[in-house]
Structure 1
Amino acid sequence: MLVIPAIDLKDGQCVRLRQGDMDDSTVFSDDPVATAAQWAQSGARRLHMVDLNGAFAGTPKNAAAVKAITQALPSLPVQIGGGIRDCNTIESYLNAGVHYVIIGTAAVKNPEFVHEACARFPGHIIVGIDAKAGFVATDGWAETSTVQAVDLARDFRDAGVEAIVYTDIERDGMMQGVNIAATVNLAVEGGLPVIASGGVTDIEDIRRLAEVSHNGIVGAITGRAIYEGTLNVAEAQALSDRLVRA
């Protein structure tokens, strides 16, 4: 199970939001490349990036920062979400050195796009499912749909999706722990590998996730905890490796 540091980009800076609120952000760095290098040096095996401006605008707004990171750290796999609504955007990101693109809002509003993307770019497509009380949120979490998270995952079970990034919005950025039950349920019932996101606070959250990783949990994204120092990336990855091997 990978421990995946997050870099959320807003206006070219590295920030963290609370529950997805763009007006409740904390700036952690104005140098995304240096931040990415820090996590690479800590032993991260993948980097999670979100274009927050893009998520709201529906088109990439921080692509330059993303490309700067992939060029500076070509051996570090990057997954990016936020504003990915068409295949041209996906192709542009992959050409820029991104390994995986995350389709979120468009997966709800245009499911056929996910199937098309998986067919055109096999092995590179992740679906982002962000949920409030079990229902999928879209448009930078500004809207909540009537689609249940588990049902959406099931819809893409045979599409060729690499994984689901599952975010419990009510936990995101709140340092209140991971919603283990909901994450496991999505992995088991949805039938796709799941990367957990939202609520990772300390190494105990990594322990709890790693202990149930056999259910299909393949990664844990962490943001505020690593920036505020309550979680050490190297220690967390080492613990995950030990528990998963056991």
Structure 2
Amino acid sequence: MEIIPAIDISGGKCVRLYKGKKGTERVYYEDPLDALNFWMKKGAERLHFVDLDGAWGSDKNKKLFQEMIKKASDKVKIQIGGGIRSLEAAVELIDLGADRVIIGTLAVKNPQIINELANRVGSKHIIIAIDYKGGKISIHGWTKDTDLNPFSFAKKISSMGAGYILFSSVEADGAFTGPDLENIKRMVNTVDIPIYAAGGVRDEEDLKRLKQTEVAGVIVGKAFYEEKIDFSIIKNSKYNE
């Protein structure tokens, strides 16, 4: 099970949200490049970049992310999401050096784009974000609810060229309530492609429980930045057996 540190950016700063709500940002690094340097020094093999402003419809962080990807791409693998609303934007990020792109809203609105993107860059570079709240998928940076069932949607897109699914509980994000283990396990059992889980991780005990669900990996943000989990765990072999 991979343990992947998250670098979420809003207003040019590294932040964490509470339950995915805009306006709840807490700043952990004024300069996200400092966060990037920190994780590279700690030996992270993969980092999870999220453009929160992009998810909310702004491209003001675009140059910053381009700089970060260029700096990181030959040292650590980068997966990036937030506001990728076109095939061209996704391909551009892969060409820039990102290892994987994460698309959510785009995939919900136009599932066929997954197949088109897979034909362009390969499934191994594509993560489909399924963010859920109240048993339904949320889109547009968690600001708009849909009537889509996350498990039915996962079945649909898993055969369309998606390489991975990022399964995120909006209500658990940044809330220290613990991961939604029941639904995570259900998602692992629903599709044949690897699942990454996000939301709610509080401590190493949560990581142990997540490992038992057989997820491929977990995204950790606030628990790292609040020092609830020792940074050395990203290199801890017992989670990568």
- Bucket of the pairwise TM-score, normalised by the shorter protein: over 0.9
Decide whether the 8 Å contact of 1:53 with 1:60 is kept in 2.
yes
* Among 217, 220, 223, the residue aligned to 1:219: 217
State how 1:67-216 maps to structure 2 within 5 Å.
67-73=66-72, 74-122=74-122, 123-213=124-214
Distance 1:171 1:52, change over 3 A: same
Shift >6 Å, 4+ stretches:
none
Q: CA shift at 1:129, angstroms?
A: 0.4
Which position in structure 2 is the counterpart of 1:14? Answer: 14
Q: CA shift at 1:237, angstroms?
A: 4.2
Decide whether the 8 Å contact of 1:8 with 1:50 is kept in 2.
yes
Structure 2 unmatched runs, 5+: none
- SS in structure 2 at match of 1:83: coil
Mapped to 1, the partners of 2:167 and 2:97 lie a distance apart of 24
Length, aligned pairs only = 239
| Letter of the 2:185 counterpart | V
Mapped to 1, the partners of 2:166 and 2:36 lie a distance apart of 20
Which position in structure 2 is the counterpart of 1:64? Answer: 63
- SS in structure 1 at match of 2:127: strand
State how 1:14-53 maps to structure 2 within 5 Å.
14-53=14-53
TM-score if structure 1 supplies the norm length?
0.92
- State the Cα deviation string for residues 156-179 of structure 1 (Å, max 9, x = none): 122221111110011000011111
TM-score if structure 2 supplies the norm length?
0.94
Q: CA shift at 1:134, angstroms?
A: 2.0
| Letter of the 2:213 counterpart | V
Mapped to 2, the partners of 1:160 and 1:114 lie a distance apart of 6
Q: CA shift at 1:244, angstroms?
A: 5.2
| Letter of the 2:138 counterpart | A
- SS in structure 1 at match of 2:141: coil
- State the Cα deviation string for residues 40-99 of structure 1 (Å, max 9, x = none): 222221100111111011x64322222222222222111111111111101221122111
Mapped to 2, the partners of 1:143 and 1:82 lie a distance apart of 14
Mapped to 1, the partners of 2:4 and 2:128 lie a distance apart of 16
Structure 1 unmatched runs, 5+: none
Q: Percent identity between the aligned chains? A: 33
Mapped to 2, the partners of 1:200 and 1:189 lie a distance apart of 22
- SS in structure 1 at match of 2:66: helix
- SS in structure 1 at match of 2:108: helix
| Letter of the 1:113 counterpart | I
Mapped to 2, the partners of 1:44 and 1:184 lie a distance apart of 26
Q: CA shift at 1:235, angstroms?
A: 2.2
